[in-house]
Chain A
């Protein structure tokens, strides 16, 4: 039985890196248009989980996955081409990683790889996605300049625009503000709250307060196990598990 509102549904999912078990028996649904936050200490499997959702995990040669993940009811390993999956499920990494090309070319990179050449379509996509990531006003006069000249926060919003250009369903964020100052962080968080009207968002963060601020539901991962998942408000007021409580109150981490 699959919840019709579920965007992702994850069943008995395991990940191994060689002998090391990075994620164990994960069962989870991620609902459409929610901000699903994942918290947990380092090496708890958060990034492994995120990279499983768009199969970036396949880039790790020793990784082995077991179980099933489906997107809108379609198995992401058997039912979808990998390029299509990655277009539908975009990712923003922890560090701003623009490619060493112009702002414009960064945004249209995915579209060009789909074979879209029409300059009008590309221009439209650039303006639309840069507006959605609130970068348009700052860069509209220098779209042809190198993306590396932008500040860290701007680069990170460029990376958001880059995935928005491909009109994805789901946005994955891997500690997107860990390298940013508080003001840039606040702007990214505001943007997330607006984006969730249109997209499903999975946000991995090592900043517990950030999860509390923007999350609808939150999962706590520890050493490859999901300890608990519940509404964000409930998790931060009455966590069901002692370890969750210890982590969010800062007793370890």
Chain B
């Protein structure tokens, strides 16, 4: 076969593979938008559900998911970044630190329902937080910790070695070096990890199933010790547990969940690009 022809065939297959990956995503998006867009209205987004959830809006679920995601981020980002700084900058390379790193990577692969069960055992029962926003946020936080630690570690490791050497050679302490010459340059990468974690925390159903999510609540949560409705669980409920819900309401809910994740990601990406523009080496 002529090399030119071989090249054309190879490119065709690569293009096909790419399309096969993108196509399902596009189809899913299209279906959700096509079937759900008619449900979206001011009333749908900002009012309470009525008539056994067949009418009214999904405001408590939107708010609940926002609370849970913000709670998970507040808990997981500082803890994860600190752990990553310790692993990259302080811990020496021995079997213990290697074991810790390996465990963190493996934790990312644990099924989310296991995290849910863990949250039920630790936060709901043992610490007596009950089924509450606090328990749910902590559970989601633990679930996204591996993602945040791993991406923060990669971000820290990609900061050139000589930044540290130069900073130390100028009489800065190790902590000052990390604070002024390493962390600022790792920030975009750390934010990427946060974005990934955020999307995951917003979309998961299993971890909140046992720890916070309510089938239906007539009023909004008043404190972190209250239960709340949440979008993924609400979607599950109206799709399978309650009969007679209009199709566009179900797809509308999915559309809202998707848009919310996208919106949160967009905000984080904007913040990240602001930091990126400042760095140059």
Q: How far is the CA of A110 from the CA of B163 in the complex (A)?
A: 13
State which of B170, B279, B280, B281 has its C-beta within 8 Å of the C-beta of A166. B170
User: Taking A99-B163, A148-B280 as contacts, is the C-beta distance between A113 and B185 under 8 angstroms?
Assistant: no
Q: How far is the CA of A61 from the CA of B168 in the complex (A)?
A: 15
Interface 1/0 per residue, A163-200 and B, CB below 8 Å: 10010000000000000000000000000000000000
Contact check, B167 vs A56: say whether CB atoms are below 8 A apart: no
Q: How far is the CA of A245 from the CA of B164 in the complex (A)?
A: 39
Q: How far is the CA of A136 from the CA of B212 in the complex (A)?
A: 63
Q: Which among B1-9, B55-63, B172-180, B199-207 touches the partner chain? A: B172-180
State which of B162, B169, B185 has its C-beta within 8 Å of the C-beta of A86. B169
State which of B92, B171, B181 has its C-beta within 8 Å of the C-beta of A99. B181
A-B contact count (CB 8 A): 61
Contact check, A87 vs B171: say whether CB atoms are below 8 A apart: yes
- In the complex, whether B166 has a CB less than 8 A from a CB of chain A is yes
User: Taking A99-B163, A100-B185, A113-B176 as contacts, is the C-beta distance between A148 and B281 under 8 angstroms?
Assistant: yes
Secondary structure of the B contact surface, majority rule: helix
A68 CB to nearest B CB, Å: 22
- In the complex, whether B47 has a CB less than 8 A from a CB of chain A is no
Which B residues are CB-close (under 8 A) to A146? 280
Q: How far is the CA of A97 from the CA of B181 in the complex (A)?
A: 13
* Interface bracket on A: 20 to 34
State which of A91, A113, A162 has its C-beta within 8 Å of the C-beta of B173. A113
Contact check, A61 vs B170: say whether CB atoms are below 8 A apart: no
- In the complex, whether B273 has a CB less than 8 A from a CB of chain A is no
Interface 1/0 per residue, A77-102 and B, CB below 8 Å: 00000011011001101010101100
User: Taking A113-B176, A146-B280, A148-B281 as contacts, is the C-beta distance between A99 and B167 under 8 angstroms?
Assistant: yes
- In the complex, whether B259 has a CB less than 8 A from a CB of chain A is no
Contact check, A110 vs B280: say whether CB atoms are below 8 A apart: no
Which A residues are CB-close (under 8 A) to B169? 54, 56, 86, 90-91
Contact check, A110 vs B168: say whether CB atoms are below 8 A apart: no
CB contact list, B144-190 vs A, under 8 A: 162-173, 176, 180-181, 185
User: Taking A90-B169, A99-B163, A100-B185 as contacts, is the C-beta distance between A113 and B280 under 8 angstroms?
Assistant: no
- In the complex, whether A1 has a CB less than 8 A from a CB of chain B is no
- In the complex, whether A114 has a CB less than 8 A from a CB of chain B is yes
CB contact list, A182-234 vs B, under 8 A: none
Most buried by B among A84, A113, A162, A166: A113
9 contacts between A and B (CB under 8 A): A59-B165, A61-B93, A86-B171, A87-B170, A93-B162, A110-B171, A113-B171, A148-B280, A162-B170
> Residues on B close to A: CB < 8 A?
92-93, 162-173, 176, 180-181, 185, 279-281
> Residues on A close to B: CB < 8 A?
54, 56, 59, 61, 83-84, 86-87, 90-91, 93, 95, 97, 99-100, 109-110, 112-114, 146, 148, 162-163, 166
